[in-house]
Structure 1
Amino acid sequence: MLKKILLSENEIPKQWYNIVADMVNKPLPPLNPATKEVLSAEDLEPIFAKELIQQEMSQDRWIDIPEEVRELYKIWRPTPLVRATGLEKALGTPAHIYFKNESVSPIGSHKLNSALPQAYYNKKQGIKRLTTETGAGQWGAALSFASSVFKLDLEVYMVKVSYEQKPYRRMMMQTWGANVIASPSNKTESGRSILAKDPNNSGSLGIAISEAVEMAAKDPDTRYTLGSVLNHVSLHQTVIGLESEKQMEIAGEYPDIVVGCFGGGSNFSGISFPFLRHKIVDGKGIRIIASEPASCPKLSRGKFEYDFGDSVGLTPLLPMYTLGHDFQPADIHAGGLRYHGAGTIVSQLRKDGLIEVQAIPQLETFEAGQLFANTEGIIPAPESTHAIATVIREALKAKEEGVQKNILFCLSGHGLIDMTAYDQYLTGNMSNYKLTDEEISKTTDSLEKLV
């Protein structure tokens, strides 16, 4: 039995997989927030690079990966597929558990899979500066490195609570030359309006998006980039699942269950979409599970409505499962999962019953993360611990039922810059956050009025 399954550099995928081509029910179109008409490519050109807009709207099944991007992928790709034998033994489960180790990238997470092509397409178009938001800092770090590679200036709006909780991620971004700003800030109209209402606002991804989009829209030499949610981001991340397909074949097994933690959908899409293709096209009886925080449960308790992708209302209206763009998530340590909505593709797949969802309390995730660290040697990022908690649930269920299951999950990143979070867990200073139906209703009841 192989513990670690590796591929050669020439086996890095040459194309990304676009699941929209195989979906029976395509995602509903985004709407122009001013006219409520279907969004056109021209509407997006002041914000995004043109080739990224084409990918966002594409229904082609396969999209070529530029050779320059593929060469840069070689820095760390292909990533290992690892059999979690230590975790299996600790759980006493008959399940075979595999994880795709995306923590080996230069920035420690999967986010670089999309940061490099996004920086590449902007550079190719002649753009000089980029803006973006970041939660826990994985995306900000990834885009900082990618911007450094392609000699682009970068301004990162980092959610204030993460800016304070995770100073080392801010330092990583600054090391690669990015200007990092705690959001909400006084630099933008969006930030000032929010601070006027709540001077102690700890921030959210929706607020940070508003600030980054505003700054990009003001300057013709600047474009905005996003690390999750959008179709082209999910597209780029499919290198994870495409490599995993080959590696599972080498292992001589096929997954019964595929799991990814869920914030906006980037790593979840990356690990699951290539396998979901087998379910849609070939009728494979595979279960796909998104693991989200119980304190930010957009897929499990949100509404499927058109909503803004940001807090202020600068973005297009997106058809998605959402807690409402005014939703202020609890200050959990899984900062990358504190987003109010889900991507349009994942939302449609959820609506059609093609994926499942589990909402995990914070304490359970850190318990899972500590067990994984003690059995597999890797301290996982707080985001990744959500996937691990779901894997443990499913492995124990297989033990109770006495059946052998093959479980595959994405280890989206390591937690070596998240040790403050582990310290709070280990010292008993961490708690779960209970979200009431009334709290959700406050930010979702008015969504129907947006269109």
Structure 2
Amino acid sequence: MRQKKFILQEQEIPTHWYNIQADMPTKPLPPLNPATRKPLNADDLSHIFNKECAKQEMDMEHTWIEIPEEVREKYSYYRTTPLVRAYALENALGTTAHIYFKNESTNPLGSHKINSAIPQCYYCKQEGDTNVTTETGAGQWGMALSYAAKLYGLEAAVYQVKITMQQKPYRSTVMRTFGATVEGSPSMSTRAGKNVITRDPNYPGSLGTAISEAIELATTTPGCKYALGSVLNHVALHQTVIGLEAEKQMKLAGEYPDKVIACFGGGSNFGGIAFPFMRHLFDGSHKDTEFIAAEPESCPKLTRGKFEYDFGDEAGYTPLLPMYTLGHDFKPANIHAGGLRYHGAGVIISQLIKDGFMKGVDIPQLESFEAGLLFAQTEGIIPAPESCHAIAATIREANKATKAGQSPVILFCLSGHGLIDMPSYESFINGDLRNYSVSNSEIEENLKKVPR
């Protein structure tokens, strides 16, 4: 019988995270103080984040950062995760490509987000904090942080984008199950939220607004720190456990990926699976591997955004970050991949795109769900709407290879399952969904508001 799953033992959970910043040929530009336009350091960031994460955010020197033993012990609750050969999907496509996926949907929270939630809450507890707060789009990050906060006896407050709270009602229920308080954003509980509601009472919400609300709470509440689920460097760092495990598992499979693919919102799961393999691009040992980030056509910051210093939130509470952006007050369409509707790309990803080490592709909403349905019907796993974008990009590459008579090895990250997203699938199956595209004039108008 041919081997389908490649599984590591708990003892093989990585002992260190991989810090790609230390190896990048061109280092990322620093975050700036929006008032002075001067570069910030780790101390400047520590009034928002815990001190250790702020330090990791700015670390350009250490290639490997040790994972605390207590964090590794918590990782063992669900790690390692399987690497799976997608034979049934290959057969359905009639492709010559070899398709593998790293299955991050197998943990109790259903997505990769827990890989960073645990260390962030661990560091907060170690530093004497009592509360954490955050934003969430689709709810994967909010669920993960709520659970991790409970592990360490912290109180969690989550601002969930209002439209996705309505589209995915069970995710906020899961957060409350773990003891978190959850508010739809924009809310009336913060000045940032009130300002948005005053301007537009029917505003469905955005990650930029929810971030503003969470940061406002963190900076006005004693003992409270803000935790972020994507975009920033330390989050991608924590997620490299995905790719480091996948490296070992690909060796067990006797292959090495020619293409590495993941869906893209802010960059956490893409960085998690791609960065460990990308270091071999830098050292020349596997210089032909292609890295592809799949984003929604309705939020095309990688392919149609502009590289600028911009705010990470709508209200302008964050530092200015060097990123590919659609403008910090970009209003995304109400697509069901709520976790991918962020206006900007992470700092590391933006620099890698700028330097040509990876590329982005846009996936229409209907194509993504068609891919998700095919994957579910062949591999037996219903993927999260976000992950469907990675599957769609993988199918594109596999079909292209078949047409060219090639047999590349394709690895993608299945970042989460969609079992709490069934209303999204119901809408697709019923024919109620449609594609959304952003006009050039909309993008240009939004970019006029980016700080110069």
CA distance in structure 1 between the partners assigned to 2:312 and 2:347 by the alignment: 11
Instruction: Specify which of 47, 62, 65 is matched with residue 63 of structure 1.
Output: 65
CA distance in structure 1 between the partners assigned to 2:29 and 2:41 by the alignment: 13
Contact 1:131 1:155 in 2 (8 A): yes
CA distance in structure 1 between the partners assigned to 2:30 and 2:132 by the alignment: 26
User: What is the CA deviation profile of residues 348-387 of structure 1, one whole-angstrom value per residue up to 9, with x for unaligned ones?
Assistant: 0000000011100000000000000000000000000000
Instruction: Specify which of 335, 355, 362 is matched with residue 338 of structure 2.
Output: 335
Instruction: Specify which of 376, 387, 391 is matched with residue 388 of structure 1.
Output: 391
**Structure 2 gaps, min length 5:** none
Contact 1:46 1:220 in 2 (8 A): no
Contact 2:306 2:324 in 1 (8 A): yes
1:288 is aligned to 291
CA distance in structure 1 between the partners assigned to 2:298 and 2:322 by the alignment: 22
- Output the amino acid matched with 1:90: A
Contact 1:229 1:342 in 2 (8 A): yes
CA distance in structure 2 between the partners assigned to 1:347 and 1:254 by the alignment: 25
CA distance in structure 2 between the partners assigned to 1:281 and 1:214 by the alignment: 42
Contact 2:53 2:120 in 1 (8 A): yes
CA distance in structure 2 between the partners assigned to 1:163 and 1:407 by the alignment: 34
Q: Aligned-pair distance for 1:41?
A: 2.1
Q: Aligned-pair distance for 1:2?
A: 1.2
1:16 is aligned to 17
Q: How does 1:24-423 map to 2 (within 5 A)?
A: 24-59=25-60, 60-284=62-286, 285-423=288-426
CA distance in structure 1 between the partners assigned to 2:255 and 2:165 by the alignment: 42
1:7 is aligned to 8
SS in 2 for 1:260: strand
Contact 1:112 1:146 in 2 (8 A): yes
SS in 1 for 2:33: coil
SS in 2 for 1:156: strand
CA distance in structure 1 between the partners assigned to 2:285 and 2:22 by the alignment: 16
TM-score norm. by structure 1 comes to 0.99
CA distance in structure 1 between the partners assigned to 2:381 and 2:407 by the alignment: 25
1:438 is aligned to 441
SS in 2 for 1:315: coil
**Structure 1 gaps, min length 5:** none
Q: Aligned-pair distance for 1:309?
A: 0.1
CA distance in structure 1 between the partners assigned to 2:212 and 2:18 by the alignment: 29
Instruction: Specify which of 429, 435, 448 is matched with residue 432 of structure 2.
Output: 429
User: What is the CA deviation profile of residues 410-435 of structure 1, one whole-angstrom value per residue up to 9, with x for unaligned ones?
Assistant: 00000000000000000000000021
Contact 1:263 1:342 in 2 (8 A): yes
- Output the amino acid matched with 2:314: S
CA distance in structure 2 between the partners assigned to 1:10 and 1:41 by the alignment: 33
Number of aligned residues: 449
CA distance in structure 2 between the partners assigned to 1:441 and 1:249 by the alignment: 46
- Output the amino acid matched with 1:143: L
CA distance in structure 1 between the partners assigned to 2:448 and 2:316 by the alignment: 17
Q: Aligned-pair distance for 1:220?
A: 2.7
- Output the amino acid matched with 1:403: Q
CA distance in structure 2 between the partners assigned to 1:424 and 1:27 by the alignment: 41
SS in 1 for 2:266: coil
CA distance in structure 1 between the partners assigned to 2:71 and 2:43 by the alignment: 26
TM-score norm. by structure 2 comes to 0.99
CA distance in structure 2 between the partners assigned to 1:166 and 1:11 by the alignment: 35
Q: Aligned-pair distance for 1:446?
A: 3.5
CA distance in structure 1 between the partners assigned to 2:41 and 2:4 by the alignment: 48
SS in 2 for 1:282: coil
User: What is the CA deviation profile of residues 174-203 of structure 1, one whole-angstrom value per residue up to 9, with x for unaligned ones?
Assistant: 000000000000000000000000000000
- Output the amino acid matched with 1:36: R
CA distance in structure 2 between the partners assigned to 1:356 and 1:194 by the alignment: 34
Q: Aligned-pair distance for 1:283?
A: 4.9
User: What is the CA deviation profile of residues 95-151 of structure 1, one whole-angstrom value per residue up to 9, with x for unaligned ones?
Assistant: 000000000111000000000000000000000001100000000000000001000
CA distance in structure 1 between the partners assigned to 2:160 and 2:183 by the alignment: 6
318-327 vs 42-51, which deviates more?
Answer: 42-51
